[in-house]
Amino acid sequence: MDDAQDFRPTVRVALGSPMLAAGVQAVLGRFGLNTESDADVLIVDDSWLAVADDLAGAPAVVALGSSVWASLLPELSAGGWAALPADATPAELLAGVLGAAAGLAVMPPSLVPEVAVQDDEDVTSSASVRTDVILTPRERDVLALLAEGLSNKRAARDLGVSESTVKFHVQALYSKLGVQSRAGAVARGIALGLVSV
């Protein structure tokens, strides 16, 4: 599948600080994401906490700042959401946008509540869920580079292999993860704990 066929969500940046907004827009542009007023994903910060109810029904929301967002967004967003620290890295921001656009919940490991493991055999622990998909070391490398937003050509250069080799690994990832796009692969990889951002 060509990069041009991949779904790339559009993003609206609605941050209180114009400087932070410009930086976020630059990062998004570097990953090939467009910013628009009518977008798939809305990025907000703590300046929205006072009017958080205005986010109700938003298709997907990425909130930068306070950890309070992790408890507010599940009730407000009609779709996926991400609660990230204000100093999120570019890779974390990309993962948040792609994950939210895919309908997932994205947050740093420190905010993820611990899953209580019961003795009941019907309850699946998070460790057993992660073993459902087994990736080769090279597939993990390619998935990590996809999470950074690299093209096949750039990933091939970074890995020291041909572009067709990277395409082969990307197709294998799609098959193993049950997805049809780079964004889907990254989102599924994050959800399964196969890639961290």
Among the CATH numbers 1.10.10.10, 3.30.1330.80, 3.40.50.300, 1.10.460.10, which is that of 126-191? 1.10.10.10
Q: What is the average pLDDT score of the chain?
A: 80
User: For the domain 8-111, what is the CATH code?
Assistant: 3.40.50.2300
- Output the pLDDT for position 116: 36
Is pLDDT above 70 for 197? no
Tens of pLDDT, residue by residue over 133-150, are: 788 889 889 998 888 888
Is pLDDT above 50 for 180? yes
Tens of pLDDT, residue by residue over 11-47, are: 999 888 899 899 999 999 998 888 887 888 889 998 8
- Output the pLDDT for position 157: 92
Tokens of 157: 């250069």
Instruction: Indicate if the alpha-carbon torsion angle 63, 68, 70, 76 is positive or negative.
Output: negative
The pLDDT-based confidence of 125 (bands split at 50, 70, 90) is: very low
Cα separation, 53 vs 37, in Å, equals 19
- Output the pLDDT for position 134: 82
Domain ranges of the chain: 8-111, 126-191
Cα separation, 177 vs 42, in Å, equals 27
Is pLDDT above 50 for 129? no
Cβ proximity of 104 and 80 under 8 Å: yes
Instruction: Note the pTM of the prediction, 2 decimals.
Output: 0.56
Mean pLDDT for the stretch of residues 181-192: 83
Alpha helices, H only, 16-105: 18-30, 69-76, 90-101
- Output the pLDDT for position 113: 57
